[in-house]
Amino acid sequence: MSVVDRQEWDVVVVGAGGAGLRAAIEARERGARTAVICKSLFGKAHTVMAEGGIAAAMANANEHDTWQVHFRDTMRGGKFLNQWRMAELHAQEAPDRVWELETWGALFDRTKDGRISQRNFGGHEYPRLAHVGDRTGLELIRTLQQKIVALQQEDFRETGDYESRLKVFQECTVTRVLKDGGRVCGVFAYERESGRFFVLEAPAVVLATGGIGKSFKVTSNSWEYTGDGHALALLAGAPLLNMEFVQFHPTGMVWPPSVKGILVTESVRGDGGVLRNSDGKRFMFDYVPDVFKEKYAESEDEADRWYEDPENNRRPPELLPRDEVARAINAEVKAGRGSPHGGVFLDVSTRMPAEVIRRRLPSMYHQFKELADVDITAEAMEVGPTCHYVMGGVAVESDTAAARGVPGLYAAGEVAGGMHGSNRLGGNSLSDLLVFGRRAGWHAAEYAQSLAYERPPVDDAQVNTAAAEALRPFSAETEGEGGTPENPYTLHQELQQAMNDLVGIIRREGEMERALHKLAELRARARRAGVEGHRQFNPGWHLALDLRNMLLVSECVARAALERTESRGGHTREDHPAMDRAWRNVNLLCALADPTGGLAATDPARGQIRLTRETTDPVRPDLLALFEKEELVKYLAEEELYE
Ligand code: FAD
């Protein structure tokens, strides 16, 4: 067995996107020696791709905006399944987190009178997204990185070592959270370039690993999104919450095939872009559901007037929450009214002068010009739904971001569940990363400090087990079962196809059952996933290890989606098309069937996930009072209304 290097830290943050960096800054500022570990290059996390903006009720563009209105919009968007305390904290704290970014050097676009500009987005009652053109994520990461460097310089002045209190391990992948009894004691990781294994010992670990999109064929997500943090939590004994809720963003590119799924930001619609079918019809007026009817325009004239006069007109239906728009596009294509390449048309060219389009949507202009040879200032884009975001995630305590049931484990950002309920509003992720990244770093640091004199030890046996698990793909050939190793790339493609076709945007019972059978077959084959060559930068090996995670989270998604017999937010059942109030207060929790955290012991054909139901906490009365009674009647379960 190889010798494994060890280092001691107080807090280890897994992930260097918005959530991870904000957590690391907070933990370090509260006195914890903090390590950040990420599988991409530092600064290359998925957050960089965020385009439209950060949602925060700063009331710069409309003085009526408040945290209460933001809370209301978030709960409506999530169809009331949100962990309401998270939605409350998020709406209250988001403005401070945006201001804080400014003090750290972020340069947001401005209003004419010099305030931070805020733009419209689907489901937000007022213009609320602070933005930097359509490259907001880049500025967010740049600012947080700059803050990290500033802290390291401060540490250098005091200790003579830049990395004495805050160190980034880039291009390193964590494969296991290590535990001492029930408590966290560190992580096991490998360096992608050298294949070298190492252990970071720490009493507190923050998971900030982002989403799961790479389990689906058509996705806007980057290569990192293999559900690692979700799987690490499960394997450490923490449950995942409501994994059936996967957001299919309505507008991804559909052509050419090599770029299918790449995101077309919602800002295009927020800034005036409209959706049309092959008959040239603005079809979204036909798809406004009853719960939203009072808030959306009934005619094109009213919708267009809203951009200039939002006080006296209702918003265009193109700005309905994402789940509604994605389903509408899907229905139009299915009805034969789609564009030549299986999407619909999204047009800004007839709505804004060319120079305004180039200024407000520079990334979109270049994306279509370079990838599809389409000039969006002169012609419509072709767009269709793409797997974009997972609302489900690690079940956490709202105030502390502590993962349920595993002392020392925390989760923030896309990997954490609860905040967005069944559907996330655009812009609410970047603010979520900052609000809960900070909270996770704060509480992880406090917890680690409480164990300063009794740090949980890391025993050799589990390090050896983790190393053996990671090395397994190199010896797959000799393990029998036909003797032929499976190609990890083939397994990945089959997984993506199955999830796309059988647990995608519109779901049916029979198809999800087929998906579970397919997953069982893939799990069995994945145990024989073999790779050739060495541990030095070997992408096939990396993928073979990631497959364990994608198979685990895919099973969670499929099992939970089969269980929830209603349609709500990012979960649409053709066989149960309506939202059912009886499901409003039901959470679905996924846990590992083998509570010891082993996978080898479970029979791959029987599945590795156990599903349980729990009743959600009742929403606090003063928060319920923010809604009209007639609206609550549409959402709340019978017994909740009675109370
Ligand atoms: P990430 O930024 O993805 O960071 C995850 C980190 O974890 C990475 O550093 C990765 O390397 C690391 N990691 C993963 N697994 C491991 C492992 N096993 N070991 C070590 N490290 C690991 N949201 C908005 O609010 N507004 C927007 O305008 C917006 N636009 C978007 C545009 C696009 C194209 C996309 C795809 C998403 C957009 N989103 C937007 C969503 C938002 O960008 C993400 O939800 C958010 O950035 C997730 O941040 P995070 O910090 O949770 O994870």
Distances 387 to 111, 261, 323, 380 between C-alpha atoms, Å: 33, 8, 11, 22
Cis peptide bond upstream of 256, omega within 30: yes
Q: Report the pLDDT value the prediction gives residue 604, as an integer from 0 to 100.
A: 56
Q: Which amino acid is at 223?
A: W
- 40's CB contacts (< 8 A; 6+ apart) are 16, 170, 171, 222, 224
Which atom of ligand 1 is closest in space to residue 53's alpha carbon? Answer: 28
What is the predicted pLDDT for the residue at 442? Answer: 98
Specify the residue with its C-alpha closest to ligand 1, atom 46: 47
Low-confidence ranges of the chain (pLDDT < 70): 1-3, 477-483, 595-605, 643
Nearest residue by C-alpha to atom 38 in ligand 1: 50
Whole-angstrom Cα distance, residue 130 to residue 120? 10
d(CA 117, CA 359): 14
How far from the centroid of its chain's Cα atoms is residue 491's Cα?
Answer: 23
Task: Look at residue 1 in the predicted model and tell me its pLDDT.
Answer: 46
What's the 199 CA to ligand 1 centre distance in angstroms? 24
How far out from the chain centre does Cα 565 lie? 24
Per the structure block, which two tokens stand in for 78?
A: 């999530």
What gap in Å lies between CA 569 and CA 507, rounded to an integer? Answer: 13
Q: Which atom of ligand 1 is nearest to the CA of 131?
A: 28
Report the distance separating Cα 519 and Cα 526, nearest Å: 10
The gap between the terminal CA atoms of the chain, to the nearest Å, is 61
Three-class SS of residue 178? Answer: strand
Q: Which helix (H) or strand (E) covers residue 548, if one does?
A: helix 539-563
Residue whose entry in the numeric block shows the structure tokens 């209190």: 165
Q: Candidates 143, 209, 235, 266: which one to mutate for ligand 1, based on the most atoms within 8 Å of Cβ?
A: 209
CB 130 within 8 A of CB 56: yes
Q: What is the reported pTM?
A: 0.93
Write b or e for each residue in 582-610: b if 16 or more Cβ atoms lie within 10 A of its Cβ, otherwise e. Answer: ebbbbbbbbbbbeeebebeeeebeebbbe
For residue 149, the surrounding DSSP H or E stretch is helix 136-159
pLDDT at 189: 98
Chain position carrying tokens 């067995």:
1
Interacting residues of 348 by C-beta distance below 8 A, sequence separation 6+: 268, 271, 272, 273, 357, 361, 376, 377
- Spacing, Cα 189 to ligand 1 middle (Å): 20
CA–centroid distance, 414 to ligand 1, in Å, is 7
- Dihedral over alpha carbons 541, 235, 173, 419 (to 10 degrees): 130
DSSP for residue 555? H
* Cross-strand partners of 247: 389
Looking at ligand 1, which atom is closest to the CA of residue 213? 36
Let me know: does 349 contact 404? Beta carbons within 8 Å. Answer: no
d(CA 257, CA 481): 36
The residue whose CA has the least distance to atom 31 of ligand 1 is 50
Q: Which residues pair with 13 in a beta bridge?
A: 36, 206
211 CA distance to ligand 1 centroid (A)?
7
Ligand 1 atom index nearest CA of 15: 7
- Enumerate residues 6+ apart whose C-beta is below 8 A from 132: 53, 106, 107, 108, 109, 138, 139
Sign of CA dihedral 106, 110, 114, 118: negative
Pocket probe for ligand 1: among 12, 46, 136, 268, the residue whose CB has the most ligand atoms within 8 Å is: 46
Residues 6+ apart with CB under 8 A from 328: 250, 275, 283, 284, 286, 287
List C-alpha distances in Å: 397 to 48, 181, 246, 269, 412.
27, 21, 21, 35, 11
- How high is the pLDDT of residue 601? 47
Q: Which of 430, 436, 547 to mutate to test the pocket of ligand 1 (most atoms within 8 A of CB)?
A: 430
Whether the Cβ atoms of residue 300 and residue 282 lie closer than 8 Å to each other: yes
d(CA 445, CA 448) in angstroms, rounded, equals 5
Tokens of 131: 């933005």
- In angstroms, what is the C-alpha Rg of the chain? 24
Nearest CA to ligand 1 atom 37: 50
The residue type found at 184 is V
For residue 440, how far is its CA from the centre of ligand 1 (angstroms)? 16
Residue having the nearest C-alpha atom to atom 53 of ligand 1: 210
Contact partners, residue 314, CB within 8 Å, separation at least 6? 294, 295, 296, 297, 298, 302, 303, 306
492 vs 215: CA distance, rounded Å: 8
Q: Which residues of 477-500 are buried (b: 16+ CB within 10 A; e: fewer)?
A: eeeeeeeebbbbeebbeebbebbb
Q: How far apart are alpha carbons 255 and 450 in whole angstroms?
A: 54
Token pair 């719960």 is found at 291
Q: Residue 387 burial by CB count (10 A; 0-12/13-18/19+): exposed, middle or buried?
A: buried
pLDDT score of 535: 94
Q: What is the pLDDT of residue 52?
A: 87
Angle between helices 136-159 and 84-103 (to 10 degrees): 70
Active site positions, annotated: 249, 269
Q: Which atom of ligand 1 is nearest to the CA of 414?
A: 52
Task: Dig out the tokens for 235 from the structure.
Answer: 């394997």
Residues in the chain, total: 643
Residue-wise burial string across 326-365, b where 16 or more C-beta atoms lie within 10 A, e elsewhere: bbbbbebbeeeebbeeebbbbbbbeebeeeebeebbebbb
Full strand arrangement of the beta sheet holding 5-8: 5-8, 197-201, 183-191, 172-180
403 CA → ligand 1 middle, Å:
19
Mutating to test ligand 1, I would choose from 429, 541, 549 the residue with most ligand atoms within 8 A of its C-beta, which is 429
Q: Strand 166-169 relative to strand 34-37: parallel, antiparallel, unpaired?
A: parallel
Question: Are the CB atoms for 134 and 265 separated by under 8 Å?
Answer: yes
What separation in Å is there between the alpha carbon of 583 and the centre of ligand 1? Answer: 29
Q: Which atom of ligand 1 is nearest to the CA of 55?
A: 25
Which protein residues are within 6 Å of ligand 1, measured from CB?
14-20, 37-40, 45-47, 49-53, 136-137, 173-174, 208-210, 220-221, 224, 228, 263, 389, 413-415, 426-430, 433
Q: Give distance in angstroms: CA of 433 to centre of ligand 1.
A: 9
The predicted pLDDT at position 127 comes to 94
For residue 266, the ligand 1 atom closest to its alpha carbon is 28
Nearest to 416 by CA among 152, 212, 171: 212
Using the mean position of ligand 1's atoms as its centre, give its distance from the Cα of residue 13 in Å: 14
